[in-house]
Amino acid sequence: MTDTTDLTVSGESLSYPEDLCPPDNFNMVSTWIYRSSFPKKKNFSFLKKLGLKSILTLILEDYPDQNMKFLKENNVTLFQFGIAGNKEPFVQIPDDKICAALAVLLDRRNHPILIHCNKGKHRTGCLIGCLRKLQQWSHTSIFDEYRRFSHPKSRSMDQQFIELFDSREAWKVIDPKWIPDWKTLGHHAGM
């Protein structure tokens, strides 16, 4: 294994694994979908274990060289739907980008996939919130999850964005042929 260091203790050769460091705010969202803050170099050995096929980033900026290298070495496709990471006063989150991002997320050819922005709190939280609407979660449950990951910086405007998001717009651009086999997807998906 590449993530172990060999130590010799009392004449015996023992292999001690290095600790794995998931990115801050890492979580499994659903089967084959993960979320996190911006992945740093120290997180790469953990991310390798996920066997990612894609990363979906919501940052506007170019991806740093070391992250591009990680993608290339591990054959990971990058999807970028750049959204400004504004603080309030709020700039409207573009619905069309969220819909396009959901279409990527719900295409199992892209799985396993990691979603991230910078802190994994607001832009990522909004996208996951909209995904939960497609999964027919109640708004209370969706906001609970949003706040768990955005704490202590939850934004009411993010929650309003999620509440007002019309999931029918997303279903228009999602290809039913490739949606994952989750029992938790709504009836719009024909499941």
Q: Which residues are catalytic?
A: 117
Q: How far is the CB of 1 from a second copy (least distance, A)?
A: 6
Nearer to a second copy, 6 or 65 (CB): 6
Q: How far is the CB of 185 from a second copy (least distance, A)?
A: 9
Question: Do 116 and 36 touch, CB atoms closer than 8 A?
Answer: yes
CA distance 120 to 116: 6
Strands 12-17 and 27-30: unpaired
Q: Where does this chain bind a second copy (CB under 8 A)?
A: 1, 4, 15, 17-22, 24-31, 46, 49-51, 135-141, 144-145, 148-149, 151, 183-184, 186-187
Half-sphere exposure of residue 74: CA atoms within 13 angstroms, side-chain side? 23
Q: How far is the CB of 129 from a second copy (least distance, A)?
A: 13
Sign of the alpha-carbon dihedral angle for 126, 153, 20, 45: positive
DSSP notation for 73-95: HTTPEEEE-----PPSSPPPPPH
For residues 40-70, b (16+ Cβ closer than 10 Å) or e, as one string? eeebbbbbbebebbbbbbbbeeebeeebeeb
